[in-house]
Chain A
Amino acid sequence: MDRENSELTFDQVAKKYPDFPRTILRKIDTALRGVVLTEKALERAKEEGALFSGISNKPALLFGALFRDGTWVLGLETYLQQLPCKAIRKGNPYILDVLDGKLWLLDGLPRPFAQDKNVNQSLDAHGLPTRLSARQVFPRAKGRGEPVEEIHFVPIPKYYCKKTSRGIPMSEVVNARFPSSLAITVLHCRFDQEKNLGDPAKAVTCKFCFYATPLFRRKEENYTPESLEDIYETVKEALKEEGRWTSIHLVGGSDPRGMHQNGAYPGNLPREIVKDTSNFISRDKPYEKEVEEDIKVLKTLQKYFGTEKIPVRAIASAFPREQLLRLKEAGLSAYNSHIEVWDEKLFAWICPGKAKYFGRQYWIDSILSAVEIFGRGNVSTQLVAGAELAEPYGFKTIEEALESNLECADFFARNGAYTTFCILWVGQGSVFYAEKQKLPPLEYYVKLAKGFNEIRKKYKLNVGFQDYRRWSNFLDTDLARIDHA
């Protein structure tokens, strides 16, 4: 199948794959096309406590929304916390509006909503023409679009309105993700430090990534006893909301700095030295800084839970065996390290930072070591599905891309690690955004989800921390809901 040729529409894909759940198909489509809220829908979000306006100098944030079956609605990212306000989408966005007192996702042209202030602003974020030019660009549309799915909002966590005892807003200490998870940003990705701004070809950030931009930088270089106390207090407060949380995830980018040649860790050295990554790159203890910070947070959480093993997954860089063992000792239950792109050449091109520190085989070896340490099914990796199709070096056909990704999933599953994939999101701040990369067709993701799910079943792997409600980005793990029994 050629990338440009004959992309099937939503209805055609639904007809071709009758065994693929409609809501998951819609989830893919909302990710590709985006969702725009009308003023009425925003008002409803406010009434239902799903809108958070507690962060000064930032617009109100929407916590998120679910389809009837509890599947997370993608495509709302431009309303969500900390994410870039602009993204490259495919075609017209869905409109979220209130009809007969219920929230509906409408599939139609945005023109009938040209007078809606919020729709208008959001169209701009989608790179689509706003009110002034909408009349010329969008053909006349009858009615306000077809209501395709009823959805409901997820309320903002109660702890978001609180502050720690030293006055830090708790929403900034621990970030609630998806309906049921708490995420702690352990460190900021260092790969952007080597970015040669203005020359995307020389950047070492992953090309699809906007997290490495200064927007996501953690204020402090290292956790201090005070900031760890903030975490302790915030988790304690969050868990007062009974029945809300089911897992904690340590997140952040990559920090390849290891131990300095004089034996000190970056946290104990002057800023000028710490800033220069090359001062710390050593194959003996790579990523030591990242491990150190993870351990500080894990020990804080161990203190809170009062148990040795704690319900925490780390989404982290590739660590050598000895560091993985230390994380396990600190209570970590599951480990996830993202390979992002499987094909060797494309990995080097799309993830130059990971390729530099310290190459594809190093990342693969780390994931396999982690299986020995954390156990089968407690280790996973992730692909950014669609990145491998980026131009000019990516796969030219969907079939090649599919084959490569399924080969990755099968390889890791054979070795006890599970591979998930997220839908490529081309957000402002990423190299791909600057390059105006395109999104793959809807059908590609259906084939991937089915293929990954079959592999998971074949090797009898659990979805664990990454199911539909704990880390709701994925599609294959959504499908696993009917295999749990």
Chain B
Amino acid sequence: MFKLPKEVVDLINDPESIKIVATADEKGNPHCAVKDFFTLLEDGNLAFAEEFEGSQTNVNLVRAIWFAKNVELTVRGKDGTTYQIKGKPYKYFYTGPLFEKFYLAAREKWGPDSELAGVWVITPEEVKNETYEVRKKEEDKKHPFFRHLDRSSVRRTKIQNSKSEISN
């Protein structure tokens, strides 16, 4: 199975990082949802809690597991480090130890009237670093002419001059 790099694993395990699940409906319309409970399982799969049976995310995930469609997970740390993980829904749990663990965590966070429909397990197939600086370097290398001319990397001297003009 595809193995996620350590940096991504740390980001997933960081409770303060933001996690977004992107799915598509029958017609291909995208849908994104922020998820609170997200974890990496021992077997290398990712698991996250889905609150509502009737949410657009849940419905799209059911369709994805039925018809082998991909979903995308984005994780962004406090410092802006961002990864995008492409994968396929592998399992959906609504009973058993994994579900119970998530359910109790949701109860603790949201109180006794909280709802949790199930836990989705996603098998990662591909990961991409989407951190701004990393992507910029990649794009500059791949498409050197797709840049604005007033970027400092294009007009380095001029910008340094103008800076010194201002400071003078």
- B-contacting residues of A (Cβ < 8 Å)? 21-23, 66, 68-70, 152, 154-155, 179-180, 242-244, 467, 469, 481-485
Also in contact, A242 and B107, with CB within 8 A (given A22-B66, A70-B93):
yes
A481 and B62 contacting across the interface, CB-CB below 8 Å: yes
Q: Using known A-B contacts A23-B66, A481-B59, A484-B58, determine if residue A68 contacts B96 with beta carbons closer than 8 Å.
A: no
- Could you say which residues of chain B place their CB within 8 Å of the CB of A152? 91, 93, 96
**Neighbour of B94 across the interface among A180, A483, A484, A485, CB < 8 A:** A180
Complex contacts, A483 vs chain B, CB 8 Å: 59
A sample of 14 more A-B contacts (CB under 8 A), given A68-B65, A243-B104, is A68-B91, A69-B91, A70-B92, A70-B118, A154-B95, A180-B94, A180-B95, A243-B103, A244-B95, A482-B62, A483-B59, A485-B54, A485-B58, A485-B59
- The answer to whether B104 touches A242 (Cβ under 8 A) is yes
**When the two chains form their complex, are residues B66 and A485 in contact, meaning their CB atoms are under 8 A apart?**
no
CA A433 to CA B123, docked complex, whole Å:
44
Contact with A along B93-126 (1 / 0, CB 8 A): 1111101100110010000000010100000000
The 7 A-B pairs with the shortest beta carbon distances in the complex, nearest first, are A243-B103, A484-B54, A21-B66, A485-B59, A70-B92, A485-B56, A69-B65
Return the CB mask of B53-94 against A: 1 if under 8 Å, else 0: 111101110110111000000000000000000000111111
Q: What residues of A have a CB within 8 angstroms of the CB of B118 in the complex?
A: 70
Pair A243/B91 contact, Cβ less than 8 Å: no
Give the residues in chain B near A485, CB-CB below 8 Å. 25, 54-56, 58-60
Counting chain A CB atoms within 10 Å of each CB, which of B89, B91, B107, B116 scores highest?
Answer: B91
Question: A328 CA to B89 CA in the complex, in Å?
Answer: 41
A169 CB to nearest chain B CB (Å) = 22
Known pairs A243-B99, A243-B104, A484-B54; A68 contacts B92 (CB<8 A) = yes
Are the CB atoms of B100 and A242 closer together than 8 Å? yes
Complex Cα gap A485–B100 (Å): 24
**Chain A: minimal CB distance from B106 (Å):** 9
Task: Report Cα–Cα, A192/B151, bound state, in Å.
Answer: 87
A278 to chain B, nearest CB (A): 46
- Inter-subunit contact A482/B63 (CB<8 Å): yes
Which B residues are CB-close (under 8 A) to A66? 95
Q: How far is the CB of A63 from chain B (nearest CB, A)?
A: 9
Instruction: Kindly name the residue among A22, A23, A66, A484 whose own CB sees the greatest number of chain B CB atoms within 10 A.
Output: A484
| Closest-CB distance, B57 to chain A (whole angstroms) | 9
Closest B residue to A68 by beta carbon equals: B91
Which residue of A is nearest B53, CB measured?
A484
Bound-state Cα–Cα, A155 to B103, Å: 16
Tell me how far the C-beta of B95 lies from the nearest C-beta in chain A, rounded to whole angstroms: 5
* A180 CA to B133 CA, complexed, in Å: 48
- B59–A154 touching, CB < 8 Å: no
- Nearest A residue to B115 via CB reads A243
Minimum distance in angstroms from A357 CB to a CB of chain B: 38
Q: How far is the CB of B49 from chain A (nearest CB, A)?
A: 11
Q: What residue in chain A is nearest B99 (Cβ atoms)?
A: A243
Q: Are A243 and B100 in contact (CB under 8 A)?
A: yes
| Min CB–CB distance A120 → chain B (angstroms) | 30
Q: Which of A23, A154, A485 has the most CB of B within 10 A?
A: A485
Q: Which residues of B contact A242 (CB under 8 A)?
A: 100, 103-104, 107
**Complex A-B: 29 CB contacts under 8 Å:** A22-B66, A23-B66, A70-B92, A70-B94, A70-B118, A152-B96, A154-B95, A154-B96, A155-B95, A180-B95, A242-B100, A242-B103, A242-B107, A243-B103, A243-B104, A243-B107, A243-B116, A244-B95, A481-B59, A482-B59, A482-B62, A483-B59, A484-B53, A484-B58, A485-B25, A485-B55, A485-B58, A485-B59, A485-B60
Question: Within the complex, which residue of B60, B91, B94 is in contact with A179, where a contact is CB–CB below 8 Å?
Answer: B94
Residues of A within 8 A of B55 (CB): 485
A43 to B94, CA, bound (A): 23
B80–chain A nearest beta-carbon distance, Å: 32
Min C-beta distance of A106 to chain B, whole Å:
19
Distance of A348 from chain B, by nearest CB (Å): 40
